[in-house]
Amino acid sequence: MVRRNLPPLTTLRAFEAAARLMSFKAAAEELRVTQSAVSHQVASLERNLGTPLFVRLPGRVELSQEGTVYFPVVQDALDKIALTTDLIRKTNTSASLTVQVYVTVAVRWLIPRLQAFKEASPEIAVNLDASLLDWEFNPDRADVGFIYTRAPNRPNLTYTLLRRERLVGVCSPAIARAIKTAEDLRHFSFLSVSGTTDDAETWAASVGVAGLSQKSSPLFDSNLLAIEAAANGQGVVVVPQFLVEGDIANGNLVAPLASDVMQPGGWYLVHLQRRGNEKAIRKFLQWIQSQT
């Protein structure tokens, strides 16, 4: 039996990421560890091999001669392990798909439509991860993410644009009757949502009311709660229009100024690049594109 004297896998992963990205900092962000941890793992690998793999320069690193030789071998080996692992998992598990989605999008848009996907693809069990905290896609928790971002450029991820959306300010019918001009907005609370300050400021600027989003107001951790508060007469909230189309149609909410503005970013379906050919991911992408 051949005895393999291999370095620890964690050191090889750190080296491969740092060599591919040419940055310990970028490697740390990709691996979700600290920059110090990547540096220690690479140093451990270098001690194991008895030779430096990087040339440390001010503000940057370069591969040494040995590192240049080692990098493509390690990268190919890790890619083969990952691909084969995914293949075995798919072969030995039932078809399922975990979708990371914001709780407001889940409740107000995805869940009412999800039965159509289940009927079209009954062999795929869909699980929803509707966290309030993860605005960026987390591949450790979900297979795909239905997310909003201005920067669809994180490494090793594939982003498919689903829709660009318009922002609209909405409130209860009673408050809407008192808003005749943009300046009237100053008499009411401007409901704030964590993580969406830029959207609120963008809409406020479009209606010509500077500083409106800085006015003291209640703070909510999701659009879902802020929308409910607005419908109950607690103030005005700015949200993507597709989240309140039903409320506007049935008169539960009103856009008093009939003013909307394009949201700066886009709504994407995102997944790991290496998983793009998986049947469940392909089917869900095709279905959600048909819905948007």
* pTM strictly above 0.85: no
Out of 8-17, 126-135, 243-252, least confident range: 126-135
94-164+266-291: CATH superfamily: Periplasmic binding protein-like II (3.40.190.10)
pLDDT of residue 192: 82
**Sequence-distant contacts of 207-211: CB under 8 A, at least 24 apart:** 207/169, 207/182, 207/257, 207/259, 208/182, 209/182, 209/183, 209/185
CATH-assigned architecture of domain 9-91: Orthogonal Bundle (1.10)
- Each residue's pLDDT tens digit, 47-70: 999 999 999 998 889 999 999 999
CATH 3.40.190.10 fits 166-262, yes or no: yes
Task: Grade residue 183 by pLDDT with cuts at 50, 70 and 90.
Answer: confident
Q: Do residues 191 and 220 make contact, with C-beta atoms less than 8 angstroms apart?
A: yes
Task: Look at the alpha carbons of 220, 222, 223, 226 in this order and tell me if their dihedral is positive or negative.
Answer: negative
- CB count within 10 Å of CB 259 equals 15
Q: What is the pLDDT of residue 287?
A: 95
Selection from 167, 217, 163 nearest residue 196 by Cα: 167
* In the chain, where the domains are located: 9-91, 94-164+266-291, 166-262
In this predicted structure, what is the pLDDT of residue 140?
85
Enumerate residues 6+ apart whose C-beta is below 8 A from 131: 100, 103, 141
Same fold for the domain at 9-91 and the one at 166-262?
Answer: no
> What is the tens place of the pLDDT at every residue in 198-238?
777 788 888 887 766 555 567 888 899 999 999 999 999 99
DSSP state for residue 208 in the 8-state scheme:
T
φ, ψ dihedrals at 79, nearest 5°: -60, -40
181 pLDDT higher than 80? yes
**What is the residue-averaged pLDDT of the chain?**
88
The yes-or-no verdict on residue 290 having pLDDT over 80 is yes
